Amino acid sequence: MKERLVWTTRIALVLVMLMVVFAACTNSSQNSQSSPSSRYSASLSGRVTTAEKMICYTHDPMAPIGVGNIFWVVEISVKNVSYSQPISYYGLQIVANNVAYIPGVLGNSFAEPFNVSLGQSAQLTLVFSIPRTVAVGDAQICYSGQAPASYGKLSKVSAISVYDCVAKSAINVTPTPNTETYVIRCEMASGRPVYMQLKTIASWQGTSSQTKDFTVTQVPCIINYGWQATSQISSSVNVNAWDSHNMSPYPSSCWGISTKTMELDKEGKYTIEINSVGAQWWLKIGVEQ
């Protein structure tokens, strides 16, 4: 009987010790989960701005690649906690619903040199093309350039209409009810880009050459035009404008929703001539709101 009591006491002590060890492991795991730097070899976070279109090397706003996608402009913060090799932007990706999204050509085209050595921190901005169905709260920023992979949280900052990846700035367009609006980009003498939001005050379209009379009452006034070929042999559209003194405007340094614009910088009566061959053309005249 005495011997059985001794063994019962020993078993009880072993069970208590196991419970203590289990509790310590559980607390350690919880603390690890609450501190990303202790869980992963890199500490990551990202701030997301969604954009409908992007301006990069060309002057026309471009839509994301993929039907139903939207641009995510992600400001990423990285700290190398324990990777022996420097962290580069290669390997940075967005992960959502077990799918990884890498930066597109636009995103890599303006990525600055990025090497984060052990113990160092840095920031960079990358652009991703992400399905609209993906919520920012359901996605993570991931670095998989070295093993093991590291993950971090994303937060949404804002939603904008157009993002200029060269100037790294937002171009917000707020349409007025019942009025079409669009954005053009003008180069100043200093080389600094300036954006103007225009409302359409006149527009025409057709397939044949035409001449239009138009009176400018507000400057700057921008003629913006484009076309699609309807002939496999030859197609072209040229637009000219003259004021009442038969003076044509100087070449414009602006780019709009097509690559063809003309700035009318003086008020008065103008004659606008559209010369069209084998093309379906459109022409819009806009002024600042």
Which pLDDT tens digit goes with each residue over 80-126?
999 999 998 889 999 999 999 998 755 444 445 688 999 999 998 88
**Hey, what amino acid is at 10?**
R
Q: Domain limits of the chain?
A: 39-170, 174-288
DSSP 230-289: --SS--EEEEEEEETTSPPPPPP-EE-SSSEEEEE-S-EEEEEEEEEESEEEEEEEEEE-
Query: Which CATH fold would you assign to the domain 174-288?
Result: Jelly Rolls (2.60.120)
Looking at the domain 39-170, which fold is it? Immunoglobulin-like (2.60.40)
90 burial class (0-12, 13-18, 19+ CB within 10 angstroms)?
Answer: middle
Identify the pLDDT of residue 191.
Answer: 58
Split at pLDDT 50, 70, 90, the class of 7 is: very low
Higher-confidence position of 289 and 159: 159
Residue 26 has pLDDT above 50, yes or no: no
* Amino acid 173: pLDDT: 55
> With DSSP H G I counted as helix, E B as strand and the rest as coil, what are the percentages for the chain, rounded to 5?
15, 50, 35
pLDDT at 142 over 80: yes
Higher pLDDT, 251 or 152: 152
Tell me, what amino acid is at 216? V
Distances (CA, A) of 101 to 56, 174, 220: 20, 30, 42
* One-letter identity of residue 192: R
Q: Which residues have CB under 8 Å from 272's CB, separation 6+?
A: 211, 212, 213, 214, 223, 239, 240, 241, 283
Amino acid at 235: S
* pLDDT band at residue 257 under the 50/70/90 scheme: low
Q: What is the pLDDT of residue 138?
A: 93
Backbone angles phi, psi at 191, to 5 degrees: 90, -5
- Asked if the model's pLDDT at residue 17 lies above 80, the reply is no
Instruction: With cut-offs at 50, 70 and 90, classify the pLDDT of residue 14.
Output: very low
More reliable by pLDDT, 253 or 137? 137
In the predicted model, is pLDDT for residue 216 greater than 80? yes
Q: How confident is the model at residue 251 (pLDDT cuts 50, 70, 90)?
A: low
